[in-house]
A and B are shown apart, each in its own frame.
Chain A
Amino acid sequence: MEAGRSPNIEIITNAEIKEISGIAGNFFVKILCYPRYVDAAKCTGCGVCAQYCPVTILDPHNRNLSLKKAIDIQYTQAVPSSYSVNPDYCLFLNKKECKQCTRACQTGAINFDQKPEVSEYHVGSIIMATGFKECDASSIESYGYKDSPNIVTGLEFERISSASGPYTGKILRPSDLKKPQKIAFIQCAGSRTQISGKSYCSSVCCKYAVKDAIVALEHEPDLDITIFFMDMRLYGKGFETFYERARKSGVTFIRSRVSEIKHDKDTEDLAIEYIKEDGTLHHDTFNLIVLPMGLEPHKENYSLAKTAGIKLNTHGFFQTGLFNPLNTIREGIYVAGGCKGPMPLPDSVMQASGAAVCASELLKKSRGTLISEKAFAEEISIDQEDLRIGVFVCNCGKNIGGVVDVVDVKKYAETLPGVVVSTDNIYSCSEDTQVLIKETVINEKLNRVVIAACTPRTHEPLFQTTIREAGLNKCLFEMVNIRDQCSWVHAYEKEEATQKAKDLIRMAVAKAGLIQPLAEPVINIIPKALVIGGGLAGMTAALSLAEQGFECYLIEKTSVLGGNLRNIHYTLDGEDPKLYLNELIDKVSNHNLINVITESEVESVNGFVGNFHTVITKSSGHGTDREELKHGIIILANGAAVYEPDEYLYGKSENVLLQHLLEERIASGQFIPAKEDSVVMIQCVGSRDDNHSYCSSICCSMAIKNALKIKEINPCTNVYVLYRDMRPYGFHEDFYKDARDRGVVFIRYDIKHKPDVTEIDGGVCVTVRDPIINKDVVIDAKILALSTAIIPREDKKLEKALSVPKSAEGFFLESHVQLKPVDSYVDGIYICGMSQFPKPIDESIFQAKAAASQASILLARGYVKSEPIVSFCDTDKCIGCGICEYFCPYNAIKMIRINKKRKAEIVVAACKGCGVCSSYCPARAISMGRFTDEQILAQIKAFGAD
């Protein structure tokens, strides 16, 4: 949506790449554009054409579970919000008759004379982000997806549970549109298989199955849901607790791969047979089966790779390297997201930012040469006396409209004092509604706008921009949340919810009468960065910023750069980490824009986004030096540490060591695996238990890597991996298979029956219960390697100085786990690498690049605009008690002296408008922009007025 509003993004739809010529910095790209047969400039998105179109087709947006017309819009909030004709089905285009749409369209937007056109574009760089698709479910013949309407794929189930989907959010099964009492999810459909599908793990299916199960239970709490799985791969931040939540809400998890589904044609039910881990055979029948299908590359990747002169990997995804996860073999062409492998959403978002920054490094000299600033009309000065309020009430599809009587609410709003116009809209966030709002503001001469819709958290900026475009100051706006706080929480009390929506709108209108235009303070940015942590992530971020022309301080606690990467001696992919590390250290140390300061620590951080003052202490030969650095942004990359357990004889037996030390001993030749040796690895030591609730993501791959290395040196050495769930996600699944083929023995253990370790002569004896044979397995091992948790670094001084919040796991918290994965909660401070969460090398690199991307946007722009919600202190009323300074969580209040009296001063750039100061102020001297005492009192009065 926001992309559709930027003056510097040109969206070209129905388009494909035909030819790429030129070199990095100077590409010429030929694009073939297929006609929409609708003039997007004239189309208002009213939909009359679709009402008249006689051709009904399956709707691909709803995964063919519903119908649409041959002229239609992809989905309600689509950008561009113009209709288009499907040339495969249109009667006129195929049989030269019909043209009902042309006659129906009031604006004359339909144009069947449009022809495919080739245009050439001149660009400096190209980013491939063509995504992935769901594997074809009908390719698994034994499941019979094609013949059984009640077997649906994961994406089909997403549409079923969506309010804007075919069943308006009710959980129904397609055959008879009845509620399915028993639902099964069958994992690894099309993934981790050599027979019908892909050999790799699709990384996201376990996660989205758990999400879908939880969402389904929220819709219908009495559903009986079972998930059949091989390993639940809920690696990554927050997912293990999500898994726990699913188990607690009653989802049954069964470890078994289902090989066949039998379809009963009379009842349309689905029967399965499955074998549990202990070998027992079971039968069960379900009303609906969901196949969370694996992800596969688009077939078009082949031709696109050929056109672009870039490579594909063996699976058909775009090929990148471990240390260059966004680069292709052709300079200037970068790849990001699902087109280079299956990955979850935050990874796609980070890679997108990372690829953007790669292009930015290349093109830095031409930054700003082709863009224009978004120009707003001058603000209209408003009449304080004559209130003209417009109220826009949103249906949010069925989200609100399914519960609240929106038309009734709209009519009620018209009766409120000061309201001159009120409308109801299907989706207030759609592009056509923005046009409607703008036109209404201008035609009705509105001077206050009230929008009753979803949450201001996600949509307030959109509506504010809309009214600003219509000439109103963006603070002449009030948003009422009648979804989260009304229709969602009162889904079963329709009348009361409608009444509550009216109450909320009445209160907002009362407040709107008192709101005033406010200015946005502008703060200049010091164009320098501070990167904390000289490991892989920190060095990558610093180098990216420097390559874009920004000066950078890189501070490192120890005496050398490299961090945890120094402990890695070889990689699964075969790339040499030592070589890369040395090259990286070289580049960073010798870059004239990077100032590397080792053996230094942050002592204090003052200031705010754009203007940080950081005092660091540096050890030197004669003691400790202090230095103050001034910079505009901070990138936090201080890494993570390895957990040292006090179980399995760690620290007591010299034969028990941590996984990375085993790697070091193998690499250095200290341990040469002999034929008679046995090596045992225990996974999840201190992970996914009471010590640390989360999965550390990288330990399974690390164990497989070391197991394969041992087998490479001596195929006769016995290697046993004792695990709870093997989680080598993505393409690493292939190495897991390789390890099994080479004779590495994987034995699952249950957390309730941990392996037992005792010391014996020349090694340790490990006893583990094998659940398949239900007997104890006893192994005399020369070495026991423990894959222990990756834990957050403890650095109280740094945490205190930055006041960046941490998650429950103790890692730095991102401001939105999916959509803002590198922004911390403090403006101008970004997080990356293992300080955010344990992750492998390539993920650290693209996250560091993403952090550099967000930082460089600020540094390049040179200023920030502050939200006008900041607090304001009336110094006449202020008694100088300082309680506000004490309670402010953002260091946004400083006590100053005015005429020798202590007074509070607001640091506008640091203020987040939380209101803590205002609520504590005993003299009522502090008021909040957009939330003054008078405004809130007016709201409270209005609440009781009806």
Chain B
Amino acid sequence: MKNNNRDNKLVGAVMVVGGGITGIQAAMDLSEAGYYVYLIERSSAIGGIMAGLDKTFPTNDCAI
């Protein structure tokens, strides 16, 4: 019975696959909203394509 209960309980953690700007934003929202997040990234650091961009439209702010 106890086991059953444990199995049916929703787990308060989310896995985000991909550490680009989308994955990072999802991870930040979830952690702030009260969920533990595992952020999975294939390469050795998060950042994705955006970390390679120089400036962003339209204010030409630093992408990092």
Known: A126-B17, A215-B60, A356-B29. A79 touches B45 (CB 8 A): yes
CB distance from A344 to the nearest CB of B (A): 8
Known contacts A352-B29, A860-B34, A861-B32: A122-B13 contact under CB 8 Å: yes
User: Is A288 close to B, CB under 8 A?
Assistant: no
Residue of B nearest to A399 (CB): B62
CA distance A875 to B16 in the complex (A): 52
B19-49 near A? 1/0 per residue, CB < 8 Å = 1111111111111111111111111111111
Q: Does B9 reach chain A (CB closer than 8 Å)?
A: yes
- Which residues of B sit under 8 angstroms from A242, Cβ to Cβ? 57-58
Whether A121 pairs with B15 at a CB distance below 8 angstroms is yes
Is residue B11 within 8 Å, beta carbon to beta carbon, of the partner chain? yes
Specify which chain B residues have a CB less than 8 angstroms from the CB of A356 in the assembled complex: 14, 25-26, 29-30, 33
Closest to B64 in A: A77
Q: In the complex, are the beta carbons of B18 and A131 less than 8 A apart?
A: yes
Report the minimum CB–CB distance from B50 to chain A (whole Å): 7
How far apart sit A818 and B25, CA to CA, in the bound complex (Å)?
12
Which residue from chain B places its CB closest to the CB of A36 in the assembled complex?
B44
Known: A79-B46, A124-B12. A360 touches B17 (CB 8 A): no
> Bound state CA distance, A353 and B16, in angstroms?
12
A163 in contact (CB, < 8 A): yes
| Contact across chains for B44 and A14 when beta carbons are under 8 A apart | yes
What B residues does A349 contact at CB under 8 A? 21-22, 25
* Residue A471, interface by CB 8 Å: no
Residues of A close to B40: CB separation below 8 A: 12, 15-17, 31
Q: Are A11 and B11 in contact (CB under 8 A)?
A: no
A11 near B7: Cβ-Cβ < 8 Å? no
Given known pairs A129-B20, A370-B35, the reply for A3 and B27 (CB within 8 Å) is: yes
Q: What 1/0 flags go to A833-874 for Cβ under 8 Å of B? A: 000000000000000000001101100110000000000000
What is the chain A residue whose CB lies nearest that of B6?
A26
Query: For the complex, is A817 an interface residue (Cβ under 8 Å from B)?
Result: yes
Chain A, residue nearest B7 (CB)? A26
CB pair A211–B41 under 8 Å, yes or no, is no
Query: When the two chains form the complex, which single residue of A10, A11, A339, A368 contacts B12, counting CB atoms closer than 8 Å?
Result: A368
A342-359: contact bitstring with B at CB < 8 Å (1 yes, 0 no)? 000100110111011101
Nearest CB in chain B to that of A160: its residue: B54
A338 to B33, Cβ gap below 8 A? no
Residues on A with C-beta less than 8 A from B61 are 458, 818
Closest to B46 in A: A79
With A and B bound together, what is the CA distance between A337 and B57 in angstroms?
18
Q: Which of B15, B52, B62 sits near A158, CB closer than 8 Å? A: B52
Q: Is there an interface contact between B45 and A155, defined as CB atoms closer than 8 Å?
A: no
Beyond A8-B37, A122-B13, A861-B32, whether A3 also contacts B58 by CB under 8 A is: no
Contact-residue bracket for chain B: 35 or more
Interface centre among B18, B20, B21, B33 (most CB of A within 10 A): B33
In the assembled complex, the CB of A265 is this many whole angstroms from the nearest CB of chain B, namely 30
Please name all residues of chain B whose beta carbon is closer than 8 Å to the beta carbon of A195 when the two chains form the complex.
none
Contact A239 B57 (CB under 8 A): yes
Task: Indicate whether A369 reaches chain B with its CB closer than 8 angstroms.
Answer: yes
Taken together as a complex, chains A and B put the C-alpha atoms of A165 and B55 apart, in Å, by: 12
Chain A residues within 8 Å of B60, by CB:
211, 214-215, 218
A927 to chain B: which residues have CB within 8 Å?
A: none
- Give the CA-CA distance A362 to B13 in the complex, in Å: 11
User: When the two chains form their complex, are residues A359 and B42 in contact, meaning their CB atoms are under 8 A apart?
Assistant: no
Q: Could you tell me if A360 and B58 are in contact, using CB atoms closer than 8 angstroms?
A: no
Residues of B close to A12: CB separation below 8 A: 38-41
B29 to chain A, nearest CB (A): 4
A127 contacts partner chain B, Cβ-Cβ < 8 Å = yes
Contact A159 B43 (CB under 8 A): no
B52 pairs with A9, CB closer than 8 A: no
Complex CA–CA separation, A345 to B49 (angstroms):
11
Q: Is there a chain A Cβ closer than 8 Å to B53's Cβ?
A: yes
Q: Is B14 a contact partner of A61 (Cβ separation < 8 A)?
A: no
Is A353 a contact partner of B14 (Cβ separation < 8 A)? Answer: no
Mask of A419-438 contacts with B, CB within 8 angstroms, 1/0:
00000000001000000000
In the assembled complex, how far is the CB of residue B45 from the closest CB belonging to chain A, in whole angstroms? 4
Instruction: Return the chain A residue nearest B48 by Cβ.
Output: A131
CB-CB under 8 A from A8, the residues of chain B are: 31, 35-37
| Inter-chain contact B11/A165, CB cutoff 8 Å | no
A36 to B45, CA, bound (A): 11
Q: Which secondary structure dominates chain A's binding surface? A: mixed
In the complex, the answer to whether A366 meets B52 with C-beta atoms within 8 Å is no
Q: How far is the CB of A691 from chain B (nearest CB, A)?
A: 22
Q: Are A352 and B46 in contact (CB under 8 A)?
A: no
Asked if residues B20 and A337 are in contact (CB atoms below 8 Å), the reply is: yes
The answer to whether A129 touches B62, judged by C-beta atoms less than 8 angstroms apart, is no
Assess the A366–B12 pair: CB atoms within 8 A. yes
Whether a CB of chain B sits under 8 angstroms from the CB of A73 is yes
B54 touches A165 (CB 8 A): yes
Bound CA–CA A79/B21 (angstroms) = 13
A646–B26 Cα distance when bound, in Å, is: 46
B36 partner, pick from A84, A215, A370, beta carbons under 8 A = A370
Mask: chain A, 210-221; 1 = CB below 8 Å from B; 0 = not: 010011001000
Given the interface contacts A25-B11, A155-B49, does A857 sit within 8 Å of B26 by beta carbon?
Answer: no
* A773 interface hit (Cβ, 8 Å): no
* A352-B42 in contact (CB<8A): no
Choose from B10, B39, B56, B62 the contact partner of A11 (Cβ within 8 Å): B39
Q: Distance (Å) between the CB of B43 and the closest chain A CB?
A: 7
Q: How far is the CB of A508 from chain B (nearest CB, A)?
A: 21
Residue among A129, A130, A363, A854 with the most chain B CB within 10 A?
Answer: A129
Residues of A within 8 A of B29 (CB): 352-353, 356-357, 853-854, 857
Which residues 345-404 of A have a CB within 8 angstroms of B? 345, 348-349, 351-353, 355-357, 359-360, 362-363, 365-371
Cβ-closest chain A residue relative to B32: A857
Contacts A129-B26, A338-B22, A352-B26; is A857 near B33 (CB within 8 Å)? yes
Nearest residue in A to B17 (C-beta to C-beta)? A128
CB-defined contacts of B53 to chain A, threshold 8 Å = 158, 162
- A610 CB contacts on chain B under 8 angstroms: none
A904 CB-CB contact with B under 8 Å: no
> Inside 8 A of B26's CB, which chain A residues have their CB?
127, 129, 336, 352-353, 355-356
User: Is A207 interfacial (CB-CB < 8 Å)?
Assistant: yes
Selected contact of A367 from candidates B9, B35, B42, CB within 8 Å: B35
CB atoms of A127 and B12 under 8 A apart: no
Output the least CB separation between B39 and chain A (Å). 5
When the two chains form their complex, are residues B17 and A127 in contact, meaning their CB atoms are under 8 A apart?
yes
Contact indicator A429/B33 (Cβ below 8 Å): no
Q: Mark A1-37, 1 if CB is under 8 A from B, else 0.
A: 1111010111111111100000001110101000010
The interface residues of chain B lying within 8 Å CB-to-CB of A132 are 49
Contact with B along A435-461 (1 / 0, CB 8 A): 000000000000000000010001000
Complex Cα spacing A13 to B20, Å: 12
Question: Cβ of A337: which chain B residues have Cβ within 8 Å of it?
Answer: 18, 20-23
Pairwise interchain contact A13-B46, C-beta atoms closer than 8 A: yes
Shortest distance between the CB of B35 and any CB in chain A (Å): 7
Q: A123 to B47, Cβ gap below 8 A?
A: no
Q: Are B55 and A123 in contact (CB under 8 A)?
A: no
Q: How far is the CB of B62 from chain A (nearest CB, A)?
A: 7
Minimum C-beta distance from B13 to chain A (A): 5
Contact partner, A366, options B9, B16, B59, Cβ 8 Å: B9
A75 touches B32 (CB 8 A): no
**Residue from A13, A357, A360, A817 having most chain B Cβ neighbours under 10 A:** A13
Q: Which 3 A-B pairs have the closest CB atoms?
A: A337-B22, A366-B12, A352-B25
9 pairs, A vs B, C-beta closer than 8 Å: A9-B28, A79-B46, A124-B35, A129-B26, A158-B54, A338-B49, A348-B20, A356-B30, A367-B33
